[in-house]
């Protein structure tokens, strides 16, 4: 099976690997970027058959370019969504573009006669706002938006996925819908543009994190995330599905131990001590980007990926492989200098 697919956010981490996989399987791919001045750069690091790839300028918050981008497509993977390292001044800075971008992509997909639409959501839409009483979540769980401690990013992903599902129920017609909900995404890099999760390994390798806070995340390799998207796009008979995409939940100290155990002198700056919670809270007073980290102290948010494995035959790499692939890429590209 092959056709023409739109992958939004073509300069992004997950989108890049999905585009590669689709083209490798014989698909023609269209992708969106906010500005076509990036086209030569994006084509360069994707390194695919240029004849099978077309780029279009489109923005999450404006209609321009979307009809042209999706014209002739049978499948859409809506991957684009904002994920900044710093906490925004107001939640709507993330919530509005995430929600409106998803709804805009859905509207134009339906108008173009798209058969299957796959939304890149997140474990952030699943496992937040529940307190510390649970440590494993599945497709039936949703982030609790009534909890005021839920930070802007998980709020944006939850609002966007719920809005998308509500729209599909009311307006989607025959268009099939599924979401993929990844945890923290690691793995090899295609470019020097770093996703927020990659910054974790970068900062550990550079010694910018003096001690390891009591914070963690589910680990998943970007190649496995792309593969789950591909399977969700192409499997027969999917409708209103949701797929958790997460490997084991590891703390900062676990990631640090993996780097230390495998990289020798290249990991000499990686911290070996745990950071007391009170110290992290004090640091966050002067470094606002740490507010999201403080909110996660002591939490365990594991994801149960059995549904994706059983329904789609999907498998995933061990977390050590994903983490070390990130580290090797950062070092080989000179992004981290040892």
Using the structure block, give the residue that is written with the tokens 């059995």: 306
In degrees, rounded to 5, the angle at the alpha carbon of residue 305 between the alpha carbons of residues 302 and 307 is: 140
The tokens for 56 are: 């279009």
28 phi, psi to nearest 5 deg: -95, 140
Q: How far apart (Å, rounded) are the C-alpha atoms in residues 17 and 33?
A: 15
**Tokens 């499997």, residue located:** 235
- Provide the token pair at 154: 């998980």
| Phi and psi based region of residue 237 (left: phi greater than 0; alpha: psi -120 to 50; beta: remaining) | left
- Report whether 28 contacts 1 (CB < 8 A): no
What does 158-170 look like in DSSP terms, one character per residue? HHHHHHHHHHHHH
The residue assigned the tokens 């102290």 is 297
What is the bridge-based pairing of β-strands 249-251 and 216-221?
A: antiparallel
Cα–Cα dist 179/177, whole Å: 7
User: For residues 54-77, b (16+ Cβ closer than 10 Å) or e, as one string?
Assistant: bbbbbbbeeeebbeebbeebbbbb
Which are the catalytic amino acids? Answer: 157
Backbone φ and ψ of 3, nearest 5° = -160, -140
Using a 10 angstrom Cβ sphere, with 0-12 exposed, 13-18 middle and 19 or more buried, the burial of residue 286 is exposed
For 12-49, the DSSP string reads SHHHHHHHHHHHHTT-EEEEEES-GGGHHHHHHHH---
CA distances from 292 to 33, 84, 133, 217 (A): 28, 11, 20, 13
């Amino acid at each position: 099976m092959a056709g023409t697919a739109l992958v939004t956010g073509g300069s992004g981490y997950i989108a890049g690997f999905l585009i590669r996989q689709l083209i490798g399987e014989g698909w023609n791919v269209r992708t969106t970027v906010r500005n076509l001045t990036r086209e030569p750069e994006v084509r360069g690091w994707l390194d695919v058959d240029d004849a099978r790839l077309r780029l279009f300028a489109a923005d999450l918050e404006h209609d321009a370019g979307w009809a042209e981008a999706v014209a002739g497509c049978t499948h859409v993977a809506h991957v684009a969504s904002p994920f900044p390292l710093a906490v925004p001044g107001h939640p709507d800075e993330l919530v509005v573009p995430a929600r409106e971008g998803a709804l805009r992509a859905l509207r134009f997909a339906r108008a173009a006669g798209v058969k299957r639409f796959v939304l890149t959501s997140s474990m952030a839409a699943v496992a937040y706002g529940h307190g510390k009483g649970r440590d494993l979540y599945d497709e039936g769980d949703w982030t609790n938006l009534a909890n005021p401690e839920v930070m802007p990013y998980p709020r944006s992903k939850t609002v966007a996925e719920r809005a998308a599902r509500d729209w599909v129920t009311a307006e989607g017609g025959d268009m099939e819908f599924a979401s993929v909900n990844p945890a923290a995404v690691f793995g090899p890099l295609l470019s020097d543009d770093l996703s927020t999760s990659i910054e974790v390994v970068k900062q550990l390798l550079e010694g910018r994190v003096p001690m390891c806070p009591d914070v963690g995340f589910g680990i998943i390799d970007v190649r496995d995330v792309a593969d789950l998207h591909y399977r969700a796009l192409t499997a027969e008979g999917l409708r209103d599905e949701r797929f958790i995409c997460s490997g084991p939940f590891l703390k900062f100290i676990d990631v640090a131990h993996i780097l230390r155990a495998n990289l020798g002198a290249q990991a000499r700056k990686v911290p070996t001590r745990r950071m007391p919670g009170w110290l992290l809270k004090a640091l966050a007073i002067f470094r606002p980007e740490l507010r999201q980290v403080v909110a996660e102290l002591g939490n365990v948010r594991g994801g149960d990926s059995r549904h994706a494995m059983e329904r789609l035959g999907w498998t995933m790499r061990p977390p050590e492989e994903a983490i070390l692939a990130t580290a090797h890429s950062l070092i080989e590209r000179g992004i981290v200098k040892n």
